[in-house]
Structure 1
Amino acid sequence: MSATEDLRRYTPAVVEPADFDAFWRTTLAEATARPVLVDVRPHRTDLRLVDTWDVTFAGFAGDPVRAWYTRPAGVDAALPAVVEYAGYGRGRGLPHERLTWPVAGYAHLLMDNRGQSGLHGAGDTPDPHGSPGGPWPATWGILDPYDYHYRRLITDAVRAVDALRALPGVDPARVAAVGNSQGGGLALAVAGLRDDLAALLTTAPFLCDVQRGIELTDAAPYGEIARYLAVHRQVEEAVRHTLSYVDGVTFARRATAPAHFGIGLRDNVCPPGTGFAAYNQYGAANGREGTPARQLHTYPFNGHEGGEAWQVERQLRWLDALLVGGTEHAAR
């Protein structure tokens, strides 16, 4: 049996806290009690083919979260829409940095990552909630699930869907969550927490089978958690307990939207088995309703970069067939 065949059968028994659903239900109820849009203003980009707005929406605890809203210029119709989540240590950057989805004809919201600006990219959203933990975002507040940075960031990600739907020119029935690496993990979490998404597109998702991930690689972000535990040996049980509330496999089991995955089989940042763990159990908790349609593309000789432009082309054709009605090359 080949290694890839083994991966396609990999279904680890990821621990689910007994109060997992209640934890997230309460967390999201607190966030959604507030109006979602805080500020929306036109933003000049000097790009003639798209229009952009600088958006602020209410995320976790009502904190202001920044985002770019971009759509084809001069188009007033309600468009299919994509909410995109950025990778670890990146922010929303400048609006002309990510144009694939609006140029393809979608309304596009790019969410900023609270507190992560300056590691690999620029952003404008602070994380005002200090809590015990290590010096890296993956370890902020890691001793308690209620304090954990990813509780806040995942809540922001869910609220970004609400913000996108509240903006003009969006078809609320055709909204997809998209992301790579940490962004892929956030998109997967949103798919598990919302039953009204039209699609999920996730590549090399972070935070899947996370208990195993911190044992497999020294590369960040998993390696940052391991380095924290190398110093704070006495808190491993607490850390593992916290991580069980943000595991992408648990979210994947609850997802209902059609899904498109991409995984590089030489990925040492988000090891391929962790992504397969989510894919193989995607929709498994839906019982008699059946498993949602899903598709996976693997890249045997690629690492965390995966298929890059090849994967994006496949995503574009798959989502077009699903949300717009195109059929040519949809199965590629």
Structure 2
Amino acid sequence: MAQFDMPIEQLRTYRSESVEPPDFDRFWADTLAQARGHDLAARFEPVATALRTVDTFDVEFSGFDGHRIKGWFTVPAGAREPLPVVVEFIGYGGGRGLPHERLTWASAGYAHFLMDTRGQGGSWSTGDTPDPVGSGSATPGFLTRGITDRDEFYYRRVITDGVRAVEAARTHPLADASRTVVTGVSQGGGLSIAVGGLVPDLVAVAPDVPFLCDLPRAVRITDAFPYREVASYLSTHRPERERAFGTLAYFDNVHFAARGRAPALFSTALLDATCPPSTVFAAFNGYGHEDRTIEVYDFNGHEGGGAHHEALRLEWLPKYL
């Protein structure tokens, strides 16, 4: 694909026209208070694997509405002292997979907490966390589940799970709660921005080609999925346009980014039709902390910087720990 979005000079100054709901903060404060009314009950069970360089724990904790969420907690083998903890969120359609699939952060000396995504894990990796909440009429996928009601919208549950994942990770004896980072790619990058806007004491946020940014523009400028799900839904549910976009405003990372309180390393790719670069720049340009950097991959699509960007994250993070 050729570059289809704004030129880079315009991207660097672009600001979203997404309108923040006046009760945005109250909505999220109430949502998290409701979730915290349930016992976090974080459980870490050692897992026997053939891996010699890391120790892995099977995790379960209470997320939105007390629903039990799975994850993996992985540390360098034999670790005895608390370590900086990297909480990672997963891309769209994926699940936590198997313990040996994500070893980078533990291999670099961190405690790594990987949150399973409720209801996902049926596309490119396996998941173990059901979403017990149904929804009304929706397009196949996750982006339109409950889209006409902010209280029932799927990502209200997932973002809340993400905040609770940070809280759960911090309860493990090998996690240094004062040195907590959130990161992820695509949907995982979007969740890291949202969680970064809701958890005030993170030391760093590293969203890679993030999803859920500048939603009104994203839905209109790309024909790629998952954003196409919203257009497909509204092509048959024509009277629901205002309600749908009214709901999405409570989950737009442009508004979470404005509340970012930690240094951030973003990435985007100029050929990315899945998470168009202007939508990523919308969140980056409005990010709330002055120490923010964005890496731009001129000739890549949604794969972004791949292993090169992973190496960059590994080099960038220690300065904040």
Measure, in 2, the Cα distance between the counterparts of 1:292 and 1:33: 34
Q: Is the 8 A contact 1:264 1:298 kept in 2?
A: yes
Q: Partner amino acid for 2:37?
A: A
Match of 1:152 in 2: 157
Q: Is the 8 A contact 1:132 1:143 kept in 2?
A: no
Q: Provide the identity percentage.
A: 52
| 2:191 corresponds to 1:193 | no
Secondary structure at 1:41 match in 2: strand
Measure, in 2, the Cα distance between the counterparts of 1:139 and 1:278: 21
Cα-to-partner distance string for 1:208-229 (whole Å, 9 max, x where unaligned)? 0011100011111101111111
| 2:98 corresponds to 1:94 | yes
Secondary structure at 1:263 match in 2: strand
Match of 2:70 in 1: 66
Measure, in 2, the Cα distance between the counterparts of 1:114 and 1:228: 22
Measure, in 2, the Cα distance between the counterparts of 1:270 and 1:71: 32
Match of 1:162 in 2: 167
Q: Partner amino acid for 1:71?
A: V
Cα-to-partner distance string for 1:16-38 (whole Å, 9 max, x where unaligned)? 11111100000001111222234
Secondary structure at 1:183 match in 2: helix
Match of 1:286 in 2: none
Match of 1:306 in 2: 304
Q: How far apart are 1:133 and its partner, in Å?
A: 3.4
Measure, in 2, the Cα distance between the counterparts of 1:241 and 1:120: 31
Q: Is the 8 A contact 1:266 1:304 kept in 2?
A: yes
| 2:265 corresponds to 1:260 | yes
Measure, in 2, the Cα distance between the counterparts of 1:133 and 1:10: 34
Q: Is the 8 A contact 1:38 1:64 kept in 2?
A: no
Q: Is the 8 A contact 1:37 1:166 kept in 2?
A: no
Measure, in 1, the Cα distance between the counterparts of 2:242 and 2:283: 23
Q: 2:18 aligns with which of 14, 22, 27?
A: 14
Q: Is the 8 A contact 1:133 1:142 kept in 2?
A: no
Match of 1:315 in 2: 313
Q: Partner amino acid for 1:156?
A: D
Match of 2:147 in 1: 142
Q: Is the 8 A contact 2:16 2:254 kept in 1?
A: no
Q: How far apart are 1:256 and its partner, in Å?
A: 0.5
Secondary structure at 1:201 match in 2: strand
Q: TM-score, normalised by structure 1?
A: 0.93
**Please, which runs of 5 or more residues in structure 1 have no aligned partner?**
284-290, 324-332
Q: Is the 8 A contact 1:188 1:251 kept in 2?
A: yes
**Please, which runs of 5 or more residues in structure 2 have no aligned partner?**
1-5
The 10-residue stretch of structure 1 (257-266 or 225-234) with the greater mean CA deviation from structure 2: 225-234
Q: Partner amino acid for 2:171?
A: A
Secondary structure at 1:137 match in 2: coil
Q: How far apart are 1:3 and its partner, in Å?
A: 1.1
Matching of residues 100-119 of structure 1 within 5 Å: 100-119=104-123
Q: How far apart are 1:95 and its partner, in Å?
A: 1.3
| Equivalent residues, number | 315
Q: 1:48 aligns with which of 48, 52, 61?
A: 52
Q: 2:243 aligns with which of 238, 247, 251?
A: 238
Please, what is the CA RMSD of the aligned residues? 1.0
Cα-to-partner distance string for 1:134-162 (whole Å, 9 max, x where unaligned)? 13211111110100000000000000000
Cα-to-partner distance string for 1:180-207 (whole Å, 9 max, x where unaligned)? 1000000000011111111000011101
Secondary structure at 1:117 match in 2: coil
Q: Partner amino acid for 1:17?
A: P
Q: Partner amino acid for 1:270?
A: C
Match of 2:212 in 1: 207
Q: Partner amino acid for 1:174?
A: R
Q: Partner amino acid for 2:178?
A: A
Secondary structure at 1:74 match in 2: coil
| 2:224 corresponds to 1:226 | no
Measure, in 1, the Cα distance between the counterparts of 2:274 and 2:137: 21
Measure, in 2, the Cα distance between the counterparts of 1:97 and 1:264: 25
Cα-to-partner distance string for 1:91-133 (whole Å, 9 max, x where unaligned)? 1011111111000000000000001121222100000011213
Secondary structure at 2:250 match in 1: coil
Secondary structure at 1:208 match in 2: coil
Q: Partner amino acid for 1:114?
A: R
Moved over 3 A (4+): none
